[in-house]
Structure 1
Amino acid sequence: MPFTFNSDVQLRDVTLRDGLQLTGGLLSVERKVEILRSLLKLGVTDIELGSMARPDMVPPLANTLEVAEQLTDEELKHCWIWVATPRHVEKAAAAGLRNFQYCFSASDSHNKANIGRDTETSLSALPEAVAYTKAVGGEIQLCIATSFTCPFEGIISEQRIIDIANDPRTEGTSDIVICDTLGQAVPEQVRSLITRVREETPARRIVYHGHDTWGLGVANTLAAVQAGATLVDGALGGLGGCPYAPGASGNTSTEDILFALRPQWLTPEIFGELVSLGDDLLAELAEPNRSKAAQGTRSKASAFEWTFANRETTVS
């Protein structure tokens, strides 16, 4: 029997938000729009286009709303924006955005470092953010950072995540995003928590957001999918990290996740174009490309259809 892949899982590319947070280089509005449209054209269904974080705190994301204003309504349907307050939702909605990722940390210490308030304060403000979202016909995700470990408090208990997910104030959120912010989780931890979220909390789409700090990004993503996640996050070339989480490194690579999941739209030719897009961006930002799959395409094993010994001349 031929091997089959799970075609029901979608990838959200987070290059333009989480991917850019730690970069020294800044991208223009025009360049960000170009990258976003290239990803959509290749087949990526969901894109995190930026953040409402303070521009002075995260300069690479300062032009997020300007990017949104350049997009069509159809393009905006595929885009998510990171928010942390009801006011963020209100301002992003005014720019035409309708998909919001309301994020706070399971640990107070990281939430204070990242957002400037404790977790309870963030949770208490969520119903107002949901109300703004519903008023514009949008969708809002419950995004829980440091779902496994915190750089200041260590291991986070599974029950802490379950309790947040079951809190009545999260009612109205369409998805729940479970984040391995530091990339310190292992597959069995991911499988266990995602399973409990699926079985013990209100029915929502489960999203997994992982980092590859300890080399288990793809393995953890696949464990999340096996446990019930149907949307997973990745960034081109493994770019990214959290400026307020010491020890965090890049996101799990978009290229590596797609090579592992093999969605129906992904052909070797499209994959080559995706790799080229990542190569060009990482070179532009003077950042290393951490994608193992991108490295694999350079193999001279020409009998394997996913390699591109002559990719520069055969893939547009």
Structure 2
Amino acid sequence: MTGPTPDVLLRDVTLRDGLQLTGKPLPTERKIEIVRELLRLGVPSLEIGSLARPDLVPPLADTLDVVAGLTAAELERCWVWVATPRHVARAVEAGARNVQYCLSVSDAHNRANIGRDTETSLAAMPEAIATALAAGGRIELCLATAFTCPFDGPVDPDRVLRIVADPRTAGAADVVVCDTLGQAAPGEVSALIGRVHRERPDERVVFHGHDTWGQGVANTLAAVDAGAGMVDGALGGLGGCPFAPGASGNTATEDLLFALRPSWLDPARLVDLAALSIELLAELDEPNRSRTLQGIRSPAAAFPWTAAHQGAPALRAEPC
């Protein structure tokens, strides 16, 4: 990559993937505040919750309340994670416009995450698509464990492509390819995203990466070079999957934005996003893993992306 990539959208997934493993709950009203602040700062797209079983993922139990608290215009830019046609129906009835229908490429992880094998989830997708489209909404095909599975190890890329090419997924607006465990390397990401992009040239390819092995930004840039039109990140690198042992946080939204430099982003907005990230993760008693925060705190006032250059107060240190 040689310069800014204004055509690549950043989706912040803090309020779904980011909250799955947090020990402290975040009140519904606070979630709505965060949605509005992220949208105000220019973040194009957000993932705001999940219809996973509330007893298994308690931090997301109020997702439909969050949906109810947002305006129709706000919901046009928000996504809700679903795993069954019934989830889709509940989400759109509550007012959601965009749903992410998730299944795992690995049967073992699909059973752990959703309670059924991959084929059963895939067989139900036509009903999920029909329900979303009948309500005037959009639906994504989201493929978890597209690179590795915590139970079975490396995943055959051909298995990913068979699902992508399956006619039962026709009607999905996007294909989301997930490095659920953060174990992929840039070459692997480039190869798989490229194959998915060639298989579904008329749909947007989304890359969802984690930073377990420190490759989150590199993998995301590789995905963009290979044809991804949207990428996922979470504030401060928050997140992980409760049903995937070994998964750590998402790639940090701040780090992705600094690398991608979309046309809507300027140094002042990045500083404001960093301040929001610090505030939120302190509320949750979670460590902030964003490397961009270190850069923003630099005393090098000649560099426009630092808080010092912006004349902003020094950002306080993140919690240990």
- Name the TM tier (shorter chain): over 0.9
2:251 aligns to what? 252
Q: 1:52 — aligned with what? A: 51
- 1:213-233 Cα offsets, whole Å, 9 max, x none, are 000000000000000001000
The answer as to whether partners of 1:83 and 1:102 remain within 8 angstroms in 2 is: yes
2:307/2:314 contact within 8 Å kept: no
On the 8 A contact 1:85/1:125 being kept in 2, the answer is yes
SS of alignment partner, residue 307 of structure 2: coil
Q: How does 1:74-93 map to 2 (within 5 A)?
A: 74-93=73-92
Q: Report if aligned partners of 2:150, 2:244 keep a CA contact under 8 Å in 1.
A: yes
The aligned residue for residue 312 of structure 1 is 313
Q: Aligned AA for 2:245? A: P
Q: Deviations over 1:110-150 (max 9, x none)?
A: 00000000000000000000010111011000000000000
Structure 1 residue runs without a partner (length 5+)? none
- Asked whether the 8 Å contact 2:103–2:143 carries over to 1, the reply is yes
Please name the residue that 1:153 is paired with. 152
* 1:82–1:103 Cα contact (<8 Å) kept: yes
SS of the residue aligned with 2:282?
helix
1:57-206 to structure 2, matched below 5 A, reads 57-201=56-200, 203-206=202-205
Q: Does the Cα contact within 8 Å between 1:162 and 1:201 map onto a contact in 2?
A: no
1:262-284: CA deviations, max 9, x gaps? 01111111111000000000000
State the percentage of identical aligned residues. Answer: 64
Task: Give the whole-Å Cα distance in 2 for the aligned partners of 1:219 and 1:86.
Answer: 35
State the partner residue of 1:278: 277
| 1:103 maps to amino acid | C
Letter of the 1:231 counterpart: M
Instruction: Indicate the residue corresponding to 2:206 in structure 1.
Output: 207
CA deviation profile, 1:80-123 (whole Å, cap 9, x unmatched): 00000000000011100010100010000000000000000000
Checking the alignment, whether the CA contact within 8 Å between 1:141 and 1:173 is kept in structure 2 is: yes
Partner residue in 2 for 1:239 = 238
Contact 1:86 1:125 in 2 (8 A): yes
The superposition leaves residues 7-26 of structure 1 with CA deviations (integer Å, 9 ceiling, x where unpaired) of 10010000000000000010
Deviations 1:14-39 (A, max 9, x none): 00000000000101111000000000
Q: How many residues align?
A: 312
Give a deviation string over 1:156-213, Cα, whole Å, max 9, x none: 0110110000011101111000000000000000000011111134631000000000
Measured in 1, the distance between the counterparts of 2:245 and 2:45 equals 28
Give the deviation of 1:308 after TM superposition.
Answer: 1.3
Distance 1:127 1:202, change over 3 A: farther
Distance 2:160 2:201 in 1: 13
Query: Could you say what secondary structure the match of 1:278 adopts?
Result: helix
TM-score scaled by structure 2?
0.96
1:286 CA displacement: 0.5
Residues 142, 170 of structure 1: 8 Å contact kept:
yes
